[in-house]
């Protein structure tokens, strides 16, 4: 039970710019190239592995790729547009003085 | 006639024991009661095995059937792994409430009639509210009250429906029906409120993220999935469920995309995933119903895993907003990897549980020739990867370096996550044991090269869309309006305006009345006051004079 106590949270241990290998620009560049390679591979593979569509539209070449991409772009844009209308400051419901304002929960550490 | 002790009552006894015990004994109860309950669940044969008399009705406390056993099984597993996750940090009353909540869910699973279903349904409502309260903050108290009001109202609607069905049909049996008359519609609405269907979806994302890091793990599992089971039992093939389910799917995606609170993102994605199940029940074929049941089973595991992963982050950092998080993969590798496994599973990535279960639902739509539903489900699968599959792990564990270096999960939380992560992969790689538990025979094999390739294209290009459109998804310190605006903003504001108007009217009335009283007083004072005409004292000589005048007038009149 030693690692779960009710003691007060300690101050955050903030470490600035640790240059972790995964966050280096060179690594990120490589990851993008790899990701692009995999994406290309999934499309090229369709020349060798036929995808049997259920209906007319999904029998079109690389349906999964362009449909998935297009659907996501549309959903992000839809969220963005709806966001202008739906988004309110975090304190919105607290403004009336009935609901408590947003707050942070207590932190716990070993 | 009780051949079998209702497993829900065993769990309820466990909840009571947790409340009464302390320390190691309580831990032992938490870790053994779900397993005992699971064992009993598996002993129950098909058919009614426990009846009782209640208010002159013959109620069926336990009725066995494959789909009931399937849901009860995952609820027991959830109580066990959730208990393992929570038992060292959660307060005793939270654990006790969680087990009573699970008892309600298991009770619903085996309810053979509508009365038993209702009783256990309300047990869930009460104890889930307590879990929300256990968040321990002012906000969780307020959210818990809103949650209770919605669920008690849902319970009343369900009860009105049940009574109406009883009057109309004379039967309290749980059997498949259609929403054709008032009673069946009320039953359907009562169930849909618990499924977080529109228009009352907001309660879920309002309440769950306000609970404690351990409480949200339990909350994610039971209420919505018992609603799915109730729909499978009562409304299979009810076509109105298809548009409702599709709405839930896209509602969940859009709101999760707008959200900044890590656990609220996951809460919206519960609505999204339950939408898949509701749609499947609406399609209503054997494949689709198998899909709904299998997906509910898999969903409970990966959603609890995601909430566990988010819970560890909240537990360690005390932070909920993803705009405050980021870069946690450095010091929380286990939580990060388990979160990613859960995220891949929810996105139905091949080799994870979502792939072998959710695909059944799409198959069900395709078999029925529902072209539009099929394409919308495909688009939604891409959207799930977008809003939960990448967004959650990316913003919590990668994104930017927030400078936070919290410790990884305590051992019990880590173990619980590893068990569920392993289950996600196991069901994804080898789904046959799960398929064997489904209500109808299932021999689907989704590991055909073309099928896998299609899903890889769909999901990986969704990933591309995510990273290309990241600038459009910049986190903002905002909340998103939902229909809870009606009771969180409009109603109080209207009341305040109304009360203000009443105050103004009262103040004006008081002022006007005071003025009126003053002027009336002045008038009275003029005539009847101490110096007024009628009240002031007159000299005796004047009175004698007047009497003399009166007598003279009288004498004159008499004479005439």
Decide if B465 and A82 are in contact by the 8 Å CB cutoff: no
Chain A residues inside the 8 Å CB shell of B449: 49
pLDDT at B521 (0 to 100): 87
Interface contact A72-B382, CB threshold 8 A: yes
Q: Which of A49, A68, A78 sits opposite B461 (nearest CB)?
A: A68
Inter-chain residue contact B375 with A57, CB threshold 8 Å: yes
What angle (nearest 5°) sits at the alpha carbon of residue B35, between those of residues B263 and B273?
A: 30
**Is A92 in Cβ contact with B403 (below 8 Å)?**
no
Q: Do B139 and A14 touch (CB under 8 A)?
A: no
Contact B454 A64 (CB under 8 A): yes
User: How many cross-chain Cβ pairs, A to B, lie less than 8 Å apart?
Assistant: 203
A73 neighbourhood in chain B, CB within 8 Å? 465, 469
Q: Residues B123-141: what's their mean pLDDT?
A: 94
Judge whether B249 is closer than 8 Å to chain A, CB to CB.
no
Find, in chain B, the residue whose alpha carbon is nearest to that of A47.
B450
What is the chain A residue with the closest CA to B250?
A: A75
The rounded mean pLDDT for chain B is 93
Residue B297 Cα distances to B65, B69, B363, B420, B431, angstroms: 16, 11, 18, 12, 12
DSSP 8-state class, residue B261: B
For residue B384, give how far its alpha carbon lies from the nearest alpha carbon of chain A (Å). Answer: 9
Residues 515-554 of B with CB under 8 A from A: none
pLDDT at residue number A6: 43
Residues 323-342 of B with CB under 8 A from A: 327, 329-330
pLDDT band at A9 (very low <50, low <70, confident <90, very high): very low
Q: Torsion-angle region of residue A62: left (phi > 0), alpha (psi -120 to 50) or beta?
A: left
Specify the range with the lowest mean pLDDT, choosing from A33-37, B46-50, B506-510: B46-50
For B362, the closest chain A residue by CA position comes to A54
Nearest-neighbour CA in chain B from A26: distance (Å): 16
Please give, rounded to a whole number of angstroms, the shortest distance from the CA of B158 to a CA of chain A.
29
pLDDT band at B472 (very low <50, low <70, confident <90, very high): confident
Q: How confident is the model at residue A101 (pLDDT cuts 50, 70, 90)?
A: confident
Tell me if B61 sits within 8 A of B51, measured CB to CB.
yes
Q: Do A68 and B401 touch (CB under 8 A)?
A: no
- Judge whether residue A10 has pLDDT over 50: no
Between chains, do B320 and A105 touch, taking CB under 8 Å as contact?
Answer: yes
- Residue B476's pLDDT band (cuts 50, 70, 90): confident
What average pLDDT score do residues B20-30 get?
94
pLDDT the model gives residue B531: 73
Tens of pLDDT, residues B9-19: 999 999 999 99
Does residue A105 surpass a pLDDT of 60? Answer: no
User: Given pLDDT bands bounded at 50, 70 and 90, which one contains residue B145?
Assistant: very high
Q: How far is B434 from chain A (nearest CA, A)?
A: 26
- pLDDT tens for each residue of B373-421: 999 999 999 999 988 889 999 999 998 888 889 999 999 999 999 999 9
Mean pLDDT of B451-462: 95
pLDDT at A107 over 80: no
What residues of chain B lie within 8 A of the CB of A87, using their CB? Answer: 258, 476, 478-481
For residue B143, the chain A residue with the least C-alpha distance is: A99
Provide the whole-model pTM.
Answer: 0.89
Q: Which helix (H) or strand (E) holds A69?
A: helix A63-86
Q: Per the CB < 8 Å rule, is B254 touching A42?
A: no
Give the pLDDT confidence score for residue A4 in this predicted structure.
43
What would the two tokens of residue B423 be?
């289950």
Measured CA to CA, the distance from residue B338 to residue B510 in angstroms comes to: 67
CB atoms < 10 A from the CB of B509, how many? 10
What is the secondary structure of B409-462 as a DSSP string? Answer: --HHHHHHHHHHHHHHHHHHH--HHHHHTSSS--------HHHHHHHHHHHHHH
Q: With an 8 Å Cβ cutoff, are A96 and B315 in contact?
A: no
B140 shares contact with chain A (CB less than 8 Å): no
Q: What is the pLDDT of residue B237?
A: 94
Instruction: Name the band, by pLDDT with cuts 50, 70 and 90, for residue B340.
Output: very high
Q: Is residue B262 predicted with pLDDT exceeding 60?
A: yes
Q: What is each CA distance from B118 to B125, B160, B161, B200, in whole angstroms?
A: 10, 11, 11, 20
At A12 the pLDDT is 47
- At A96 the pLDDT is 82
Convert the pLDDT of each residue in A14-29 to its tens digit.
Answer: 455 567 888 888 889 9
Kindly determine whether residue A87 and residue B480, on different chains, have CB atoms separated by under 8 Å. Answer: yes
User: Residues B15-42: what's their mean pLDDT?
Assistant: 95
From the list B371, B407, B449, the residue facing A109 with the nearest CB is: B407
Instruction: For B90-124, write each residue's pLDDT tens digit.
Output: 999 999 999 999 999 999 999 999 999 999 999 99
Give the separation between CA B230 and CA B227, rounded to whole angstroms. Answer: 5
Q: Token pair of A17, please?
A: 């710019």
The minimum CA-CA distance between B11 and chain A, rounded to whole Å, is: 26
| Lowest-pLDDT range of B93-107, B267-281, B525-539 | B525-539
Q: Do A46 and B473 touch (CB under 8 A)?
A: no
Distance from CA of B392 to the nearest CA of A (A): 15
pLDDT of residue A53: 85
Name residue, tokens 């408590």.
A100
If you average pLDDT over residues B311-332, what whole number do you get?
92
* CA-closest candidate to residue B34, choices B56, B52, B7, B6: B7
| Poorest-pLDDT segment among A52-66, B216-230, B297-311, B340-354 | A52-66
Nearest-Cα residue of chain A relative to residue B404: A14
Asked whether the predicted pLDDT for residue A1 surpasses 60, the reply is no
Interchain pair A108, B315: CB under 8 A: yes
Can you tell me the ipTM of this complex?
0.85
Looking at beta carbons, which residues of chain A come within 8 Å of B379?
67, 71, 75
Distances (CA, A) of B27 to B14, B20, B83, B305: 11, 12, 9, 21
Whether A58 has a pLDDT exceeding 90, the answer reads no
Can you give the three-state secondary structure of B184-197, one letter per residue? HHHHHHHHHHHCCC
Interchain CB distance below 8 Å, A79 and B492? no
* A76 to B472: CB separation less than 8 angstroms, yes or no: yes
Amino acid B1: pLDDT: 66
Q: Cis omega before residue A75 (within 30°)?
A: no
Write down the pLDDT at residue B3: 74
Q: Per the structure block, which two tokens stand in for B355?
A: 């792939």
Q: Look at residue B443 and tell me whether its pLDDT is greater than 60.
A: yes
A58 vs B contacts (CB less than 8 Å): 375, 378, 454
pLDDT at B259: 93
> Which residue in chain A is spatially nearest to B24 when comparing CA positions?
A1
For B481, the closest chain A residue by CA position comes to A86
């Amino acid at each position: 039970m030693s690692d779960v106590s009710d003691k007060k949270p300690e101050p955050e241990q903030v470490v600035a710019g640790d240059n972790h290998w995964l966050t280096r620009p060179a690594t990120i560049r490589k990851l993008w190239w790899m990701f692009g390679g995999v994406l290309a591979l999934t499309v090229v593979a369709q020349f060798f592995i036929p995808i049997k569509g259920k209906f007319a539209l999904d029998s079109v070449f690389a349906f999964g790729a362009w449909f998935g991409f297009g659907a996501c772009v549309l959903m992000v844009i839809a969220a963005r547009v709806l966001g202008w209308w739906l988004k309110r400051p975090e304190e919105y419901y607290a403004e009336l003085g009935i609901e408590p304002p947003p707050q942070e929960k207590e932190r716990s550490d070993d | 006639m009780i051949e079998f002790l209702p497993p829900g009552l065993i769990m309820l006894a466990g909840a009571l024991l947790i409340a009464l015990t302390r320390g190691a004994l309580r831990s032992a109860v938490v870790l053994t009661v779900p397993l005992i309950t699971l064992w009993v669940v598996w002993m129950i044969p098909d058919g009614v095995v426990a009846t009782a008399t209640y208010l002159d009705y013959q109620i069926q406390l336990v009725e066995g059937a494959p789909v009931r056993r399937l849901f009860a099984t995952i609820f027991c597993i959830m109580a066990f792994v959730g208990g393992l996750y929570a038992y060292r940090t959660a307060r005793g009353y939270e654990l006790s409430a969680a087990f009573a909540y699970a008892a309600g869910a298991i009770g619903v699973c085996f309810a053979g009639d509508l009365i038993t279903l209702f009783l256990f349904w309300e047990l869930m409502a009460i104890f889930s509210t307590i879990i929300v309260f256990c968040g321990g903050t002012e906000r969780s108290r307020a959210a818990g009250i809103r949650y209770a009001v919605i669920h008690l109202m849902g319970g009343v609607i369900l009860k009105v429906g049940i009574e109406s069905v009883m009057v109309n049909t004379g039967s309290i049996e749980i059997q498949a029906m259609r929403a054709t008359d008032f009673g069946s519609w009320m039953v359907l609405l009562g169930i849909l409120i618990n499924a977080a269907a529109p228009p009352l979806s907001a309660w879920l994302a309002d309440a769950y993220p306000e609970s404690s890091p351990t409480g949200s793990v339990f909350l994610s599992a039971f209420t919505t999935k018992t609603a799915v089971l109730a729909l499978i039992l009562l409304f299979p093939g009810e076509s109105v469920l298809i548009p409702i389910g599709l709405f839930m799917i896209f509602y969940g995606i859009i709101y999760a995309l707008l959200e900044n609170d890590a656990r609220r993102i996951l809460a919206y994605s519960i609505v999204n995933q339950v939408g898949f199940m509701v749609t499947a029940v609406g399609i209503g074929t054997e494949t689709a119903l198998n899909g709904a049941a299998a997906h509910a089973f898999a969903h409970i595991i990966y959603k609890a895993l995601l909430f566990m992963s988010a819970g560890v982050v909240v537990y360690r950092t005390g932070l909920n907003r993803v705009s405050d998080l980021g870069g946690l993969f450095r010091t929380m590798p286990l939580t990060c990897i388990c979160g990613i496994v859960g995220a891949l599973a929810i996105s139905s990535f091949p080799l994870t549980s979502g792939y072998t279960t959710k695909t059944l639902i799409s198959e069900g739509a395709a078999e029925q020739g529902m072209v539009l539903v099929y394409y919308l489900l495909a688009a939604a699968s891409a959207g799930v990867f977008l809003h939960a599959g990448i967004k959650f792990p990316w913003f919590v564990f990668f994104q930017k370096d927030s400078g936070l270096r919290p410790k990884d999960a305590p051992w019990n939380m880590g173990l619980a996550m590893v068990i569920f992560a392993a289950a996600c992969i196991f069901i994804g790689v080898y789904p046959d044991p799960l398929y064997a538990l489904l209500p109808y025979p299932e021999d689907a094999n989704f590991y055909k090269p073309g099928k896998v390739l299609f899903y890889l294209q769909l999901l990986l290009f969704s990933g591309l869309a995510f990273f290309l459109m990241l600038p459009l998804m910049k986190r903002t310190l905002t909340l998103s309006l939902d229909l809870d605006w009606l009771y969180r903003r409009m109603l109080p504001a209207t009341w305040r305006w109304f009360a203000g108007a009443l105050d103004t009217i009262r103040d004006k009335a008081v002022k006007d009345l005071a003025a009126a009283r003053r002027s009336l007083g002045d008038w009275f004072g003029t005539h009847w006051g101490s110096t007024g005409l009628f009240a002031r004292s007159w000299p005796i000589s004047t009175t004698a004079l007047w009497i003399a005048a009166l007598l003279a007038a009288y004498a004159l009149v008499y004479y005439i």
